[in-house]
Chains A and B, each alone.
Chain A
């Protein structure tokens, strides 16, 4: 597609429920990133994919968080047993190859609210 698409744009869920957030990167982009932006905070790195593998998962805050990428394209971020502190905007970005000479394109994010 023309840009990075994220769905849903907004999600309200009850505490304890599982949620899935989807990212559809730019076609042909091998690198994909998930970030979390909490109110008043900067962007916190969560996970980096190169193709279908995730060489850097260091930012996932707990084992309730997981992500996968299939076919080198769409990625899903899953949060199990959501907590109120998970409320944030989750941003996805993709890059042609992921190195410093390639730009990053960010999606508009999914705003997650846990009530």
Chain B
């Protein structure tokens, strides 16, 4: 069955520090992978996506993610966190086959940024 696991429910980092949010997926075919961010009271915003090609993908707001097939992982990274990055982050895998086109989300990681 397709699934996404985000092992860290809550992470706190200091402003200016580096960040890595973990994501592991289970999917039988080549995965389509996404990272979304949700700020309080806001809808989900796409940070980046991976479909094929270069396994290191760049996104908006200085985020990047690396696809590692051998580890079934798609971890999100940022070299220097800003206070405005505090939000909830969701990893998702796209299930595009047959009659469905849904995204399967992880449970999310809440990022708190200390001044």
Nearest-neighbor residue (CB-CB) of B31 within chain A: A100
Contact stretch, chosen from B54-62, B63-71, B78-86, B94-102: B94-102
Check A108 against B106 for contact (C-beta < 8 Å).
no
A42 to B102, Cβ gap below 8 A?
no
| Contacts A106-B44, A108-B42 given; does A99 touch B96 at CB 8 Å | yes
In the complex, which residues of chain A have a beta carbon less than 8 angstroms from the beta carbon of B99? Answer: 55-56
Q: Is A4 within 8 A of B43, CB to CB?
A: yes
- CB pair B100–A41 under 8 Å, yes or no, is no
B residues in contact with A42, CB < 8 Å: 4, 6, 90, 105-108
Q: Which residues of B contact A75 (CB under 8 A)?
A: none
The answer on a CB contact under 8 Å between B107 and A41 is: yes
Taking Cβ atoms with an 8 Å cutoff, the residues of B that contact A are 4, 6, 32, 36, 41-46, 51, 90, 92, 94, 96, 99-108
Residues of A within 8 A of B (CB): 3-4, 31, 33, 35, 40-45, 48, 50, 55-56, 58-59, 91, 93, 95, 98-101, 103-109
